[in-house]
Each structure stands twice: as C-alpha cells, then as structure tokens.
Amino acid sequence: MIPKQHEGIGMTSQRTRDRLIARLKDRGIRNKQVLHALGVTPRHLFVDEALASRAYEDTALPIGHKQTISQPYVVARMTEAVLQEGTPEKVLEIGTGSGYQAVILSGLVKQVYTVERIEALYQQTRKRVMQLGLHNIKFKLSDGSWGWESYAPYDAVVVTAASDEIPSPLIDQLADNGRLVIPVGHPSGAQDLLLLRKSGNRVEQENLGSVSFVPLVQGSVHT
C-alpha cells in the first residue's frame, strides 16, 4: 500500500486520478483489481516534478535517457492481459524504466522481477521503490533479452520495449500455461501488442492491438 504522504493535491489529487480511471473504463478496461491499482498508485512520483501536473493524463511521458513512462491505458491493458486467466505468482518485467508498471504489478501479484539495461534508471528506480516501502520487487541491471534465468520459470513475462522478434529466452523462461505480453514490430513503425500462451510445446498467440513503445536495445549501459 502506498503511504499517505504520497497522496498528492491539486493536479495530483485523488479526484484527478479518478478521472483517469473513468477514462480507462471508457476505453474498455474491465478488471476491477487493475483499475483499483491504477487508481491508488501515485503516477506523479514516477516522473520529473516539472511533469507532475500531467501525470494523470492518459499519455506516455519522458523519463530521461530517451525513454518514456508508458501510457496508463497500455499499462492497464498489459496488466489485464496478464491477470486474465487467474493471478500469476511470479512476474518478470523487461524494461523497468520509471518502475510504474512494476509497482502496479507488485500490488496484484506475489513477486515481481524487473530488468533494466540503463544503469542510471536502474539506480533511480530502485531508490524510488524503496522509498515507497514496497518489498516484493527485485531489480536487475542487464540486457533483458536474456530474461532472468535464476528465478525462472515465471507465470508471466511483460516486455515494455518493442522488438522485431520475440527473444527466445523469454519463452523458455515461461512456466507451463505461462503468458507473455510483448510489443512486436519495428520501433519506428506500428507495433502489435501480442499475448502468447505457452502450453507444453505449443505457443498460442493473440493480437491485442496496435501500440507504440521505445525499442528493446541490446547490451547494458553503465554510467
């Protein structure tokens, strides 16, 4: 649960957040747990203070290092897809960024593992999440295309950066009946948000619609 002093006033108040939730419902988000998680999470704490007044608009916003915090609708859609057939226990996220998606997940599942390739974001976000008093998120600085082998298998994997191809370690590290949500397509063009379900040797695929994410980039950046 988010501590009281982070509740916000004015453009970051509960009323402002409630308007965002109403918009997400209008756009078709139905899962009550997901709507609640977005309603109680102070998104303004995940962006620079200068952007705090825009934190409850349904748009992606810059977080530095040419990266963005995802649009709330897309975060809700991905989270809903992951919870669709029962609540997963262990979820791996690739692309920690601001930590917003990881924090939303942490309120809904038992344990979240998240991997970021840019050291500055990794450090900043770890600190932010510690200040929020959340203890069920583990962070790793690495190229997430390789997944996070030591805690595999995962009940769900959420990738928040786009690539032309689905990195095979992410499918390998899925548990049986696990779900993978990933934007696939060229980063400068249209991407499809795909939901994959693994059962035995078979992988089924569903297209959840068009999205726009920053690219999944190889290697890690140490600053």
Kindly indicate which of the ranges 33-41, 64-72, 76-84, 168-176 contains the residues binding ligand SAH, using the contact rule CB under 6 A. 64-72
Position 88 contacts ligand SAH (CB under 6 A): no
- The answer to whether 70 is a known catalytic residue is yes
Kindly indicate which of the ranges 31-39, 141-149, 182-190, 193-201 contains the residues binding ligand SAH, using the contact rule CB under 6 A. 141-149
Position 121 contacts ligand SAH (CB under 6 A): yes
Helical ranges in 100-186 per DSSP H:
100-106, 119-131, 168-172
Chosen residue from 106, 160, 173, 212 binding ligand SAH by CB under 6 A:
160
Q: What is the CA radius of gyration of the chain?
A: 16
State which of positions 92-111 bind ligand SAH (CB under 6 A).
94-95, 97-98, 100-101
Position 173 contacts ligand SAH (CB under 6 A): no
Distance CA 5, CA 185 (A): 41
Respond yes or no on whether the N-terminal peptide bond of residue 167 is cis (omega within 30° of 0): no
Distance CA 86, CA 94 (A): 21
Find the shortest distance in angstroms from Cβ 95 to ligand SAH: 3
Residue 14: other Cβ atoms inside 10 A = 13
DSSP helix/strand/coil, 150: helix
Chosen residue from 161, 170, 182, 195 binding ligand SAH by CB under 6 A:
161
32-40 vs 72-83: helix axis angle to the nearest 10?
140
Binding site for ligand SAH (CB under 6 A): 67-70, 94-95, 97-98, 100-101, 115-118, 121, 143-145, 160-161, 214, 216-218
Catalytically active residues are 70
